[in-house]
Structure 1
Amino acid sequence: MTKRQIAYLVCTAAVVASGVGAAAPSACSRTVHRVNPGESIQKAVNTAKPGDVIFVSPGTYHESVSITVSGLTLRGASTRSTVIVPDKASADSACAKAGNGICVTGTKSKPVTDVTVRSLTLRGFKKTGLWATGTDRLRVERVTSEKNGQWGIAQERSVRGVFRHDTVEANGDAGLFLGNTVATEEGALDSKAVIIHNRLLGNRIGLTVRRLRNVVVDGNEATGNCTAMFLVGDENKPRPGALRVTDNFVHANNKFCAATARLPFLQGSGIILTGVEDSLVAGNRVEDNVGKAPMSGGIVLAKNFQGALNQRNDIRDNLVLGNGTADLASQDKGKGNTFLDNECAASRPAGMC
């Protein structure tokens, strides 16, 4: 065994139960706090220091968890075996009162950095399974978030987040939601978020990217939603855009969702761009998204309700077939949008296939 391997083992050797007091630090100040069924995840988080790991054993845990310390890892035994659900008898934390499962919370002046959440399930929360605000380099990996009232996994006012190998299913609004800010109208945030290899199943909207710049959406599967992917911009500056939406499999998003105060009814929409600029949509497989909603279709450049236009977007090299009302649709008069080398059967207006 090399000296490097021995050092790694020493760094990960200290394991303490959450019910015991503060853990003795290991040789490199990294402690693994083990939480067992019947014990409190929040108590372990409260005693942890930057760099520590909270390992949650198999079981069902009835609580909400708030993380405000940088550098923590919250890790379950596996997605199927570690499950966090609401505690209906107690909602004494701000996270729980807001109806969320896990909250990762920082501020603009003092963001929470380098937090990782992985290998667990969040289920049945009134609002959001995992909510993050004021974070930098948050990683959410192999998390299932399902049957939550609003969002499965959501983030605002945050940069350089990575969302990978997650499953978001049967959530009331978006399975994955990334935005500049929820509460106010502001220009687009330079997000640099990465959304890769996730499964977006049976939500109102599989993925919403709202008022952001520089986001990568690659290799995801979306099916059974009312709309698979909604890339939303507006007239504020900086303008939303510079998105890369590539190599996603978007099929049979034919669920019906009634109109809301913000949107008309949704059904049969694959990838929708509205008020977005300078973005690439390429190499995607978009099939069998069928409906008669105003924004139905395979890849749709839709009218923005505030009058912002899609501009200078490049739609190329996509396989777009079997979608109704059209495989490709351009509904606004934005300039510089190009459709090149897409395999499709029908477009509106005609001539884009």
Structure 2
Amino acid sequence: MDSARSGDTVLVSPGVYRESVAIGTARIVLRGTDRSKVVIDGQFKRTNGITVTGPGSVVENLTVRNHLANGLLFTGVTDKALQGAGAGGGANYNPLDTAKFPALRGFRASYVTAYDNALYGIYAFDARDGVIENSYGSGQADSGIYVGQCNPCNTVVRNNVTEHNAVGIEVTNASKDVYVLGNTVRRNRVGLTVLSNDLEALGPQHDAAFVGNTISDNNDDHSPEQADGGFGIGVGIGGGMHNRFERNRVEGNSASGFVLQDVQGYPAVGNEIEGNDVDNGGLGLVVLADRTEGNCYSGNGHAPTSPRPLPRALTVCPGRNAAMPTSGRLPAVGTIPPGMSFRDIPPPPAQPGMSDAARAPARPALRLPGRVDLAAYRLPEPRR
């Protein structure tokens, strides 16, 4: 990597590489020849597995595991001291100076397996114009995939699988042209969170689309504990604004399919939850607020809500402002099982790799994500 010039492909043979990798050159393609057998191993003593600050660069067809912060990080933050556990969502993090560190332009992660990392598996922070696709995350103590602090983001997260994480996919202060499409988010503590947060710049979060995802059985007792104690929630919207949730299958989440609430002074405003299949055997929606600020929940099946009934202003899209009859309540889901250490989550099975990895032409991350066709993402089929 130290010798690579812009436009080069670095092809990596099978092996366990006990090192951290930094890609600071533009338009590099880092590719493993075998997704499961090319492994960047942090040995639970290195911070990040792969850190990408070179615009237009790509990481594909390999595994990152056992790091004290992130498996794969795409970022415009070039200060190495800020790329560790305190950067972007960590407990010691302060909002980033976005003028000093402008967003990374152009990135892609394809066919990446990330597991047993202390914060995030695949982490796009202060980065835009990118794609995270066909990848897998398990055993992260925070989230399997995270998109944070970008506006506009112009980023697509598609056709990934996340399981056995504290949170499957997290979108925080990530706004405009964010598309989370066709993912399988299952068996985490919480499936998907959409948040506004004062720990990052560029709040509030707004204008993202979540279409065609399967968000199921997020009641996993073989996962790290979620920071706020969340468990059994399919989708948590905390202070997110003007987001669209459509044609998602949300099932088997023991507390609620959707939770809508205000956080840190950010009201949840104008979120449209329409045309999903919410089948929990329990609550479909919990509204933890005294008012609904233009949110709506319509055509999502017959699962009960809290409060029940919902005010009519909330049941027709687009929604209207209205006082809630009472704030909703999350149901008790029994004894929440203790979390496991991220170090102890079993390795995942081998995941499908890219075809002909040794000879396939390189595709730097230029002019991404391209045209996004939401209509192509149908409501997923029920579980069999």
* TM-score bin, normalised by smaller chain: 0.7 to 0.9
Q: Deviations over 1:272-318 (max 9, x none)?
A: 1111111100100000111xxxxx410111231x1211111111000
Q: For residue 276 of structure 1, give the secondary structure of its aligned residue in structure 2.
A: coil
Does 1:331 find its partner at 2:288? yes
Report what 2:52 is aligned to.
104
- Does the Cα contact within 8 Å between 2:190 and 2:226 map onto a contact in 1? no
Q: Deviations over 1:215-234 (max 9, x none)?
A: 10010001111101000014
Q: For residue 7 of structure 2, give the secondary structure of its aligned residue in structure 1.
A: coil
Residues 276-287 of structure 1 mapped to structure 2, 5 A cutoff: 276-287=240-251
Structure 1 unaligned residues grouped into runs of 5+: 1-44, 106-111, 181-187, 291-295
| Letter of the 1:132 counterpart | F
Report what 1:343 is aligned to.
301
Does 1:114 find its partner at 2:56? yes
Report what 1:216 is aligned to.
179
Q: Deviations over 1:145-202 (max 9, x none)?
A: 001111111121111121000100111111111111xxxxxxx622111100000110
Report what 1:254 is aligned to.
219
Larger Rg: 1
Q: Deviations over 1:238-263 (max 9, x none)?
A: 63110101110011000256564xx2
Report what 2:261 is aligned to.
302
Does 1:140 find its partner at 2:117? no
- Does the Cα contact within 8 Å between 2:151 and 2:202 map onto a contact in 1? no
Report what 1:269 is aligned to.
233
CA distance in 2, matches of 1:121, 1:136: 24
Q: TM-score, normalised by structure 2?
A: 0.69
Q: TM-score, normalised by structure 1?
A: 0.75
| Letter of the 2:195 counterpart | V
Distance change (3 Å), C-alpha of 1:237 and 1:83? closer
Report what 2:33 is aligned to.
77
- Does the Cα contact within 8 Å between 1:234 and 1:307 map onto a contact in 2? no
Q: For residue 2 of structure 2, give the secondary structure of its aligned residue in structure 1.
A: helix
Moved beyond 6 Å, runs of 4+ = none
CA distance in 2, matches of 1:196, 1:268: 23
Distance change (3 Å), C-alpha of 1:118 and 1:341? same
Report what 1:207 is aligned to.
169
- Does the Cα contact within 8 Å between 1:298 and 1:323 map onto a contact in 2? no
CA RMSD of aligned residues (A): 1.9
Report what 1:156 is aligned to.
125
RCO higher in structure (CA 8 A, sep ≥6): 2
Report what 2:327 is aligned to.
none
